[in-house]
Amino acid sequence: MNQHFSQLKKAVEVFHSYGISLAGQRKNDHFIQQLHMDPIFVNGLIFELEYNLQVMIQDEKLRGACTPKELIRVLLDIPQEN
């Protein structure tokens, strides 16, 4: 549980550096449609999350992660699989 908390804290910092608030319903906003992010910046966000959390996210799992909440769920599931 402690590992999940520290990972979540790092992830929140990365999201905030991109100007994405995770409070309230904003965590359910689609990256491109509602947050108006360019796909290049979405890829940059994913890269920074992987780098800061020292994980590799499989492309198959990223296809379904279109919101910050879904992306965090994918990130938190990774250590349990390894």
pLDDT digits 0-9 by tens, 2-23? 777 888 899 999 999 999 989 8
pLDDT attached to residue 2 = 75
Considering the entire predicted model, what is its pTM?
0.86
In the chain, what are the domain boundaries?
A: 2-81
DSSP assignment of 11-75: HHHHHHHTT---SGGGGGS-TTTTS---HHHHHHHHHHHHHHHT----HHHHTT--SHHHHHHHH
- What is the dotted CATH code of the domain comprising 2-81? 1.10.1200
Q: Name the pLDDT band for 1 (thresholds 50, 70, 90).
A: low
